[in-house]
Amino acid sequence: MKAFVLALVASLVFLPGAQAAEKVKVCTLSTILTELAQKVGGDRVEVIGLVKPGIDPHEYEPAPSDLQLVAQSQLILASGKHMEGYLTKLKESAGGSGDLVPVGDRFASLTMKPEEGGKQGEAKEIEDPHWWHSVDNVERATKVVRDELEKLSPADKAVFDKNADAYIATLEELKGWIKRKVAELPRDQRKLVTSHDAFQYFARDYGFTIYAIEGVSTEDEPSNRKVAEIIDTIKKQNVKAIFLESIENPKVLKVITRETGARIGGSLYADGLGLGADGTYDGMMRHNVTTIVNALK
Amino acid sequence: MRGSPILRAVLVVAALLLLLVPLVQLTKPVHAAPVAQSAPPAATSVVHLELTSTRAPFEFELRHLGQVIWSGSATENQVSKDVAMNFPTEGVDLELKGQWTGGVSMAAIKLSVANGEARAVEKSLWATKEFDDVLTFP
């Protein structure tokens, strides 16, 4: 009898613990969101990033094995703002009951005109999907991820709140560092020539003017007229350096540097995290800001 | 056409060689002159700076483009200085850093910047002890 009572007590003690140990299954379609989910969720979540570092999210297409992972996930985090054109099909094909959350759709967008004759081929303005180049947006995204995790696992609310607050504190520190670093660069030299139009949010926050050779997507091809305009602008504005991006073909940029005499200022991470020291959001932003400021000074 | 075939051939070759000179000139790749590696410097002007704090004494440091342009310790609530600096039409970023040496309550410090005859622009920071932020002046 004594043994039975002990076993019963033990089962009552350990059963809730076993249930609490059940982790929330999250899959993400962006390296930035992978980090957010891991930071906010901590050891209470199991995160699978479908888009790995170095993969161009504009060109990513889900493999059959990815559909299986999506189907098994309770939460699917996407960048939103039309970054993932395949979202609806992905959810339909994969099935499953997980919540699909296009995180970027929860806050305001910057818009821009598509390049003439570009892939969009429409006169209406399009949203810039690269919201993570504004640290303020990443703070907003952190809160979105926190709220979604709390809906799925209310018992872990305190943990998610604490983790989100700690992560936002590091983002605040990063914001201060960026402001001070960018302040080293005269405001009349804040002209950023990049291969694709991914830095509008960064430009808005820190007073840069963007001259992008391609459109919003890396799949957009620049027209000869656009390239000629960029060359003219670089010469007129005395732009010292232009920047490559980690993912794409820098051929056109090399032609422009030959024609203008501007130098290659370095490589920027536009569409997601890098590897090694640049494999975190903090590392990516510090790399980009240091590269830009040092090249344009 | 009369004359020796050899002479005719020589004349044709000579004519082709003459044509070659302008052809080479026209098709030679043009190397663009490198752009000036620095933008024309913005005009230097005398800028009047004024710090007003709700609490004194305080220590401060003001940086422009990473360089300290004004620093000191103030025993009164207001200090000012004129500095010569580049002030482009796009504006300037000034990093204001410092601390109040006494008191624990919330205090504010205001930086006022007047570029020449232009109307002064003011920006404020709030803190309890230390302050450090970048302020943009148009």
**Range scoring the smallest mean pLDDT among A10-14, A201-205, A274-278, A291-295:** A10-14
Average pLDDT over residues A69-88: 91
Query: Which residues in A have their CB inside 8 Å of a CB on B?
Result: 176, 179-180, 182-190, 207, 234-235, 237-240, 258-262
Summarised one tens digit per residue, pLDDT across range A159-217 is 999 999 999 999 999 999 999 999 999 999 999 988 778 999 999 999 999 988 876 56
CA-based radius of gyration for chain A:
22
User: Does residue A5 register a pLDDT over 60?
Assistant: no
In which band, very low, low, confident or very high, does the pLDDT at B35 lie, cut at 50, 70 and 90? very low
Residues of A in contact with B123 (CB under 8 A): none
Separation in Å, CA of A196 to nearest CA in chain B: 23
Q: Select from A183, A239, A261 the Cβ nearest to the Cβ of B134.
A: A183
Residues of A in contact with B89 (CB under 8 A): 188
CB contact under 8 A, B91 and A185: no
- 3-class DSSP assignment, residue B1: coil
Does the predicted interface ipTM exceed a cut of 0.85?
no
Backbone angles phi, psi at A13, to 5 degrees: -70, -45
CB contact under 8 A, A258 and B63: no
**Range scoring the smallest mean pLDDT among A76-85, A132-141, A228-237, B10-19:** B10-19
A70 Rama class: left (phi>0) / alpha (psi -120 to 50) / beta: alpha
Separation in Å, CA of B21 to nearest CA in chain A: 25
- 3-class DSSP assignment, residue B17: helix
pLDDT at A143: 98
User: Does residue A113 register a pLDDT over 80?
Assistant: no
What are the residue ranges spanned by the domains of chain B?
44-137
CB contact under 8 A, A186 and B65: yes
Average pLDDT over residues A120-140: 85
Average pLDDT over residues B28-49: 61
Summarised one tens digit per residue, pLDDT across range A91-109 is 788 777 889 999 999 999 9
Structure tokens at B126: 């709030």
Average pLDDT over residues A49-55: 88
pLDDT at A115: 57
Q: How many CB pairs under 8 A join A and B?
A: 64
User: Does residue A18 register a pLDDT over 50?
Assistant: no
| DSSP secondary structure of chain A | -HHHHHHHHHHHHHHHHHHHTPPEEEEESSHHHHHHHHHHHGGGEEEEESS-TT--TTT----HHHHHHHHH-SEEEE--TTS-TTHHHHHHHH--SPEEEEGGGGS---EEPPPTTSSS--SS-EE---GGGSHHHHHHHHHHHHHHHHHH-GGGHHHHHHHHHHHHHHHHHHHHHHHHHHTTS-GGG-EEEESSS--HHHHHHHT-EEEESS-SSTTPPPPHHHHHHHHHHHHHTT--EEEEESSS--HHHHHHHHHH-PEEEEEE--SS--SGGGSSHHHHHHHHHHHHHHHH-
Q: Taking CA atoms, what residue in A is nearest to B34?
A: A261
Residues of A in contact with B133 (CB under 8 A): 176, 179
Which candidate in A188, A192, A205 is best for mutational testing of the B interface (most B CBs within 10 A)?
A188
Separation in Å, CA of B131 to nearest CA in chain A: 12
Separation in Å, CA of B78 to nearest CA in chain A: 25
| Yes or no: domain B44-137 corresponds to CATH 2.60.60 | yes
In which band, very low, low, confident or very high, does the pLDDT at B31 lie, cut at 50, 70 and 90? very low
**CA–CA dist A297, A182 (Å, integer):** 10
pLDDT at B82: 95
Q: Taking CA atoms, what residue in A is nearest to B36?
A: A238
- 3-class DSSP assignment, residue B93: strand
User: Does residue A247 register a pLDDT over 60?
Assistant: no
pLDDT at A15: 47
Residues of A in contact with B66 (CB under 8 A): 183-184
Q: Taking CA atoms, what residue in A is nearest to B89?
A: A188
Instruction: List beta partners, residue A127.
Output: A111
In which band, very low, low, confident or very high, does the pLDDT at B33 lie, cut at 50, 70 and 90? very low
Average pLDDT over residues A228-247: 83
Return the closest-CA partner of residue B125 out of B104, B98, B101.
B98
What is the distance of C-alpha B18 from the center of its chain?
Answer: 52
pLDDT at A37: 98
Summarised one tens digit per residue, pLDDT across range B57-92 is 999 999 999 999 999 999 999 999 999 999 998 999
% chain A with pLDDT above 70: 85
